[in-house]
A = this chain, B = another copy of it.
Amino acid sequence: MTAPPSETSRAADSLIATFERQIADGVLKDGEALPPEREIVQTYGVSRTVVREAVLALSNKGLVEARPRFRPVVRKPGYDAALQAAGSVVNRLLNEPSGVRNLFDLRIMMEAALVREAALFADKNQISRLQQALADNERAINDSAAFFATDVAFHSVFYEVPANPVLPSIHKAYVNWLSKHWMKMPRFPDRNRLNYEAHAAIFDAILLRDPDLAEKALRDHLDDAWQQVRETFNTP
């Protein structure tokens, strides 16, 4: 039965749709492995070619995680899966002249908005988490690796203030995309101290519940960080 490949589109598409539905409906639970390819072949009466194509497509969409020789594992996607899907293209764009600049500017804009929100709406719990992160950051001034980690952690708190699950994912994506540039930057204790003081200034502005001051402090901090990037990579 050499199936006629023409109805609306490819046979693979319907298989893909089937699996997407099964994942969405929980028939295929998260963390579970897909059935073997040959079993799918028998179940749906398609060739292995189509099955492989479908699985690959699901893998590219981030719905399953397929290591080379293992069974694909279902991954119910969160918001970071969505951003991760964009990753490969973004990485290419980062190699173009103004790619890093564009993304960094976007980050400045978003974090400016976030610190405004934090200044206006952060509750006691969130402020104490900021304080904690700031203290960790200060303690790490002399350990550049630890400083980098606490730096990221401090900024990440802002992405959690609005209680929107998309935001932490965005922050993770930023860190992923830009970290390879950050990593290559020289980090010295005195540089770290300046950054810590910038963080402290932002925190103080939030304590004062002054969104304009907080935004200014954040922008100064990130503009300065950009200057460092610029000097390091000579990218105008």
Residues of A whose CB lies within 8 Å of any CB of B are 9-10, 20, 24, 49, 52-53, 56-57, 60-63, 68, 77-79, 81-83, 85-86, 88-90, 92-93, 95, 102-103, 105-106, 109-110, 112-114, 117, 162, 164-167
CB-defined contacts of A103 to chain B, threshold 8 Å: 166
- 8 Å CB contact of A86 from B68, B85, B105, B109: B85
Give me 28 A-to-B residue pairs in the complex whose CB atoms sit less than 8 angstroms apart, sorted by A's number.
Answer: A20-B92, A24-B92, A24-B95, A52-B53, A53-B56, A56-B56, A56-B57, A56-B60, A60-B60, A60-B61, A61-B89, A62-B89, A63-B89, A79-B93, A82-B90, A82-B93, A83-B86, A85-B85, A85-B88, A86-B86, A102-B165, A106-B166, A106-B167, A109-B110, A109-B113, A109-B114, A109-B117, A110-B113
Taken together as a complex, chains A and B put the C-alpha atoms of A165 and B93 apart, in Å, by 11
- Asked if residues B164 and A105 are in contact (CB atoms below 8 Å), the reply is yes
CB-defined contacts of A89 to chain B, threshold 8 Å: 61-63, 77, 81-82, 85
- 8 Å CB contact of A162 from B9, B68, B105: B105
CB-defined contacts of A62 to chain B, threshold 8 Å: 89
CB-defined contacts of A82 to chain B, threshold 8 Å: 86, 89-90, 93
CB-defined contacts of A165 to chain B, threshold 8 Å: 102
- 8 Å CB contact of A164 from B52, B92, B102, B167: B102
